[in-house]
Amino acid sequence: MSIRIKDLGHVVLYVRNLERSVAFYRDVLGFRQIAPDPSRSGATTLRFPAAAFSSASGRTHHELLLIEVGEDAEAQPRGRRVGLYHIGLKVGDSDDELRDALAGLRDAGVTITGASDHTVSHSLYILDPDGNELELYVDVPEADWRSDPSLVASPIKPLRL
């Protein structure tokens, strides 16, 4: 039997402080909180102790679920390890949009860990408030990876915006 995945549906992250993380994903990255509905006081209690469902595109009921685990939760181990490395989030279709994102990240005081030219995409790497790495990227229209799939595995080069 072979299952065919049609779409990457959502990501779930454990966070230390839900309010801080919701503010980051909403105010810096533009996610819209779906539930609990922030416009309704006394919103229905969810089955999670403290959680927020959010969507960036509106194409689905949620693309991001944040679950609060408390300030005393252990940090992700650094270095080589098994598990999630980063989450890629497309922020536009041009380097100008990536430059705008970079300016917004700097204005917000977000930790920027790198910038890479992957031939098929240009990327900024940042950390969320809990140290989860996020890749903000744009696809390079001139890089036709469908005709030449080897472009996807091109050597990574520094990106200068």
| CATH at residue 137 | 3.10.180.10
Q: Establish if 135 belongs to a structural domain.
A: yes
Average pLDDT, stretch 147-158?
96
Question: Does 43 have pLDDT greater than 50?
Answer: no
For 76-131, the pLDDT digits (tens) are 888 898 988 999 999 999 999 999 999 999 999 999 999 999 999 999 999 999 99
Same domain, 64 and 95: no
Higher per-residue pLDDT: 45 or 124: 124
Q: How many domains does the chain have?
A: 2
Q: Establish if 81 belongs to a structural domain.
A: no
Same domain, 62 and 116: no
Distance between CA atoms of residues 22 and 131, nearest Å: 14
Same domain, 18 and 62: yes
Same domain, 99 and 49: no
Check residue 63 and give its pLDDT: 92
Same domain, 56 and 101: no
Q: How confident is the model at residue 21 (pLDDT cuts 50, 70, 90)?
A: very high
Check residue 152 and give its pLDDT: 96
Same domain, 18 and 56: yes
Question: Does 46 have pLDDT greater than 60?
Answer: no
Question: Does 44 have pLDDT greater than 50?
Answer: no
Check residue 59 and give its pLDDT: 87
Between 10-24, 34-48, 103-117, the lowest mean confidence (pLDDT) is in 34-48
Q: Establish if 108 belongs to a structural domain.
A: yes
How big is the CA angle at 83 (ends 48 and 33), to the nearest 5 degrees? 35
Range of the domain at 15: 11-68
For 24-39, the pLDDT digits (tens) are 999 999 999 998 877 6
The residue out of 19, 40, 68 marking a domain boundary is 68
Same domain, 64 and 91: no
Q: Establish if 124 belongs to a structural domain.
A: yes
Q: How confident is the model at residue 5 (pLDDT cuts 50, 70, 90)?
A: confident
Nearest CA to 87 out of 7, 13, 149, 16 is that of 13
Percent of residues in the chain assigned helix, strand, coil, to nearest 5 = 20, 30, 50
Q: Establish if 122 belongs to a structural domain.
A: yes
Q: Establish if 79 belongs to a structural domain.
A: no
Same domain, 92 and 30: no
Same domain, 44 and 96: no
Same domain, 103 and 61: no
Residues whose CB falls within 8 Å of the CB of residue 108, separated by 6 or more in sequence, listed in order = 27, 28
Q: Establish if 26 belongs to a structural domain.
A: yes
Check residue 79 and give its pLDDT: 86
pTM (two decimals) = 0.89
User: 38: part of which helix (H) or strand (E)?
Assistant: none
